[in-house]
Structure 1
Amino acid sequence: MLYGLATSWGSILFFAFIGLVLFGLRDPLTLDPATITGYVMIFLYMIVPVEGVLSSLPTLASARVALQRVQQLREDLPPEQPQRPLPAEPFRSLALEAIRYQYRGEDGESFTLGPLDIRFSPGELVFIVGGNGSGKTTLANLLVGLYPPDSGAIVLNGRALAGDRQEGYRQLFSAVFNDFFLFDDVAFVHERTAEQVNHLLRLLKLQHKVRFAGGRFSTTALSQGQRKRLALLQAWLEERPLYLFDEWAADQDPEFKAVFYLELLPMLKAEGKTIVAITHDDRYFHLADRIIKLESGRIVQGSPL
């Protein structure tokens, strides 16, 4: 109520000021009517911006109070002690045993993935296929440890994952999701040589756009397709034992689809990496060691084991 009164009084004072200019300053300043009219028009056009500024003042005041509370809370909390993540253990086998996950959408409808039983072995190329809404990306998030399963277990090297192994488990994966974010630096760069990096830059047609030195890309200001190719290069540089690609080739030109399926995936497979690729490109299905098809959260085709 007070804010409404203040706004009303502000409008009254503004129009009073315009009236003063129109009737009170014409004779003392010896201004002609055209000049006075010009000033009045300018002031009238200023009403909306000024009211916008005034209306934002309560929001800014609330934001200031909220910021002060956050700062006070940070001061009250004990300082965090940095913890070194547990090293990733060697990957020998991975199994999802009776994995089940359920979530509710914004419309209130629920979706259930599973129960699923799937095993992955070193050096294996697995394609996950299915229609939109079949659960492919949900399965990918469960697989890399971003979603905790509601029931069932993730079994790594014959042992079910417990809390103290979760971080090390995530370090086994390098993933490029459909909604990826691209950093200009690479957190973990292993024994990739400059010659190998330059070869892949040429393969992805990025050699004239990007240079890689000191664990950092020279730029990420690229088109969406080029950024996705750079994200693939970043994943390759991390040299993890398991790779996950969530419809990587969906928005790529046919040339780069062929590079992805016919050159990059076989190259990773030859290095002994396990590759899980979500894909709709049926012309390349023959390259996979196994194809797992999902429908409404269940496996309907393919050999999961």
Structure 2
Amino acid sequence: MTKTGRHSPLHSMFGNLAFLLRKSYQLDKSIVFATIAHIPVIVLLPLLAAYLSKSVVELVTDASDAGTLTVYVLSISAGLLAMHWLNMYIGAKIQFRAFYNRFLYIGLSIDKVMNTDYDNIESNSGQHKMDKANKAMEGDDTGTQQFFAQLVKCCSNGIGLLTYSAMLNFLSPWVVLLLFGSTAINYAVNRAHNHWVQRNKDNWVPLERKLSYISKKAGDFEAAKDMRIYGMSGWFRQVSKRLLGERLGWSRKSERRGFIVDVLNVTMTVVRDGAAYGFLLYQVTHNGISAAEFVFFFALITQYSGWLLGIIDSFNALHKTSLAIGDMRDYLDMPDRSNRGAGAALPDASPEIRFENVWYRHDSSDDATIKDINFTIRPGEKIAIVGMNGAGKTTLVKLLCGLYRPTEGAVIAGGRNIASYNRDDYYKLLSVVFQDIYLMPFSIAKNIALCEAHLIDRERLEHVLKLSGLHEKVQSLPEKEETQLLKSVRDNAIDLSGGEKQKLALARALYKGGSIIVLDEPTAALDPIAENEMYLKYNELTASATSIFISHRLSSTRFCDRILFLENGRIVEEGSHAELMALGGKYAGMFELQSHYYKEAVGV
């Protein structure tokens, strides 16, 4: 088992079935009722057909008149026709409702990924669970959609098997034992194969995720420039070919095992049916059963074989579906450790923030990223956290935002551990611009306000566009702030440059107006002069807010009250710009190296 393949113990089959029935009843009661109604219809149909054949032979043997025979046949045939119509109607209803039901579970999955704790989906194990869960919901033949059809088949086959066993017992209990014994062998073989597939699924799901990534990036226009300039297509093909070869290797193993299982199933079927029919012929020739009884028992044995094969196939299909449902439950049941219930009251103004002996280590890492951090940010203070790439700056931001929980120590805001606040309430305090900026295929206004058009405060929108430096660009567009974004999605849209995206992200943070404002490398795509102008505007707006600037470029630091210099997850220097320059340490050295980019702009 690979490291990425670690997962919680499998849920039991009946536990999974109970979960899906209970959840489906909550989401869509009609499909549960339709499933229950469909089972007796399927059982009665072949039994009614067998009874019709037996009755016709009896009437013919007894030399009944044509009128009686016609009425009898038409009556039973009418009943059969009505049952067939009912069977098709209920089957179609189940099929449609199952399709609808699958999308309800997709909705649950989307809710989970949007609302679960951030580290649940950032971790490799969380991504692995999400990929396996999506396999249970991605198509018409997957677990959540096929479950009800398979449940109907399994239950109808089981009830039919018991009903026909009772009838065939009148012929001979040995026939029933023969058929049951061969069924048990088939079931054991198929169950072993399903368990093999489930055990080894963790070996090919990561391969499929990598293949999906390569396929997506190969057609991603944002990667197209690098793909061509650096001649990456050949390398991409090699990586894709290698991964595809590994995935096909697992497919070959699975297909070989499946072929062996099919051969064993066919062999057992031939042996079972041959022995049963031979016994029935023996009964005709030696024990003198009637022609009508022969026809009836022949139909029962023929259908009995269908029930047997059906219960093997349907039970194994249901078992396979159960395993997929278990994957979905593993994903949906990922625990959220943050407070989602009643929390402490939020502070009314910008709070004091304290890091007390904070350590943080990723689950997949042996080394801590943040090591014994202690500092305090006073209300309304502006702090710069600087350092080289990899120093731990972004991890520090995620701890402050509550996206990560400290491995040791605590983050305190407003005199309380941030874990004591309701998670979503705490997020209201925060206006954050992260390094990675994501835009949606909506208007510029909606991308800033993140709400429907009629709820947007237009004066506030205009204000933050000016403060972020994006106003001139927006006014030059024909549709101004209603201009649509992302040409890859909308024909009439535009794409913003890297610097314009960062300005939009700043406008978004300013529009929200949180009392704690965090900028994580917010101006990396701007030139030094534009960056300095941006911070001058930003400094005016955030006069009453607690502000944290994260950067490895130091043009923002002169506007801050205090600077923390991070190295290898620790604070190695702390003070104002003037104090750190006088200290002549790591900050001063880094500032001097960068100063030729912005010395003239900031008046140094």
Cα separation, 1, equivalents of 2:414 and 2:466: 34
1:151-209 deviation per Cα after TM superposition (whole angstroms, max 9, x unaligned)? 11121221223355333222211111112323443337679535414533655642224
Instruction: Select between 288-297 and 88-97 the one with higher mean Cα deviation.
Output: 88-97
Hey, what does 1:299 align to over in structure 2? 571
CA distance 1:85–1:167, change in 2 (3 Å):
farther
Hey, what does 2:426 align to over in structure 1? 169
- Contact 1:89 1:169 survives alignment (8 Å): no
1:110-136 deviation per Cα after TM superposition (whole angstroms, max 9, x unaligned)? 233121112122322111111121111
Hey, what does 1:268 align to over in structure 2? 541
CA distance 1:92–1:192, change in 2 (3 Å):
farther
Give, in angstroms, the shift of residue 149 of structure 1: 0.6
CA distance 1:303–1:194, change in 2 (3 Å):
closer
- Contact 2:347 2:414 survives alignment (8 Å): no
CA distance 1:236–1:103, change in 2 (3 Å):
same
CA distance 1:192–1:95, change in 2 (3 Å):
farther
Aligned equivalent of 1:187, options 450, 462, 486: 450
Hey, what does 2:18 align to over in structure 1? none
Please show how residues 117-132 of structure 1 align to structure 2 within 5 Å. 117-132=374-389
- Contact 1:98 1:151 survives alignment (8 Å): yes
- Contact 1:204 1:229 survives alignment (8 Å): no
Percent of aligned positions that are identical = 30
- Contact 1:94 1:155 survives alignment (8 Å): yes
Q: What is the aligned length?
A: 233
- Contact 1:190 1:237 survives alignment (8 Å): no
Cα separation, 1, equivalents of 2:347 and 2:523: 30
Higher strand share: 1
Question: Larger relative contact order (C-alpha < 8 A, sep ≥ 6)?
Answer: 1
- Contact 1:88 1:171 survives alignment (8 Å): no
Hey, what does 1:256 align to over in structure 2? 530
1:20-78 deviation per Cα after TM superposition (whole angstroms, max 9, x unaligned)? xxxxxxxxxxxxxxxxxxxxxxxxxxxxxxxxxxx8xx89xxxxx98x956x969xx9x
CA distance 1:187–1:88, change in 2 (3 Å):
farther
Give, in angstroms, the shift of residue 277 of structure 1: 0.8
CA distance 1:157–1:146, change in 2 (3 Å):
same
Cα separation, 2, equivalents of 1:203 and 1:212: 10
Task: Say if 2:395 is the partner of 1:138.
Answer: yes
Cα separation, 1, equivalents of 2:461 and 2:438: 24
Cα separation, 2, equivalents of 1:94 and 1:191: 32
Q: Which runs of 5+ in 2 are unaligned?
A: 1-247, 253-319, 333-339, 487-494, 577-604
Give, in angstroms, the shift of residue 273 of structure 1: 1.2
Cα separation, 1, equivalents of 2:468 and 2:359: 40
CA distance 1:281–1:69, change in 2 (3 Å):
closer
Aligned equivalent of 1:277, options 532, 538, 549: 549
Taking structure 2 as the reference length, the TM-score comes to: 0.34
Q: Which amino acid aligns with 2:485?
A: T
- Contact 1:124 1:269 survives alignment (8 Å): no
Cα separation, 1, equivalents of 2:484 and 2:363: 42
Hey, what does 2:370 align to over in structure 1? 113
Q: Which has the larger radius of gyration?
A: 2
CA distance 1:222–1:303, change in 2 (3 Å):
same
Please show how residues 207-218 of structure 1 align to structure 2 within 5 Å. 207=474, 208-209=476-477, 211-212=480-481, 218=484
CA distance 1:200–1:218, change in 2 (3 Å):
farther
- Contact 1:125 1:274 survives alignment (8 Å): yes
Give, in angstroms, the shift of residue 88 of structure 1: 4.7
Q: Which amino acid aligns with 1:113?
A: I
- Contact 2:361 2:368 survives alignment (8 Å): yes
Cα separation, 2, equivalents of 1:259 and 1:191: 24
Taking structure 1 as the reference length, the TM-score comes to: 0.63
Q: Which runs of 5+ in 1 are unaligned?
A: 1-54, 60-64, 78-82
Cα separation, 2, equivalents of 1:158 and 1:296: 28
Cα separation, 2, equivalents of 1:147 and 1:246: 16
Give, in angstroms, the shift of residue 258 of structure 1: 2.0
Hey, what does 1:219 align to over in structure 2? 485
Q: Which amino acid aligns with 1:175?
A: V
Aligned equivalent of 1:235, options 509, 518, 524: 509
Hey, what does 2:417 align to over in structure 1? 160
Q: Which amino acid aligns with 1:187?
A: L
Aligned equivalent of 2:358, options 93, 96, 99: 99
- Contact 2:351 2:546 survives alignment (8 Å): no
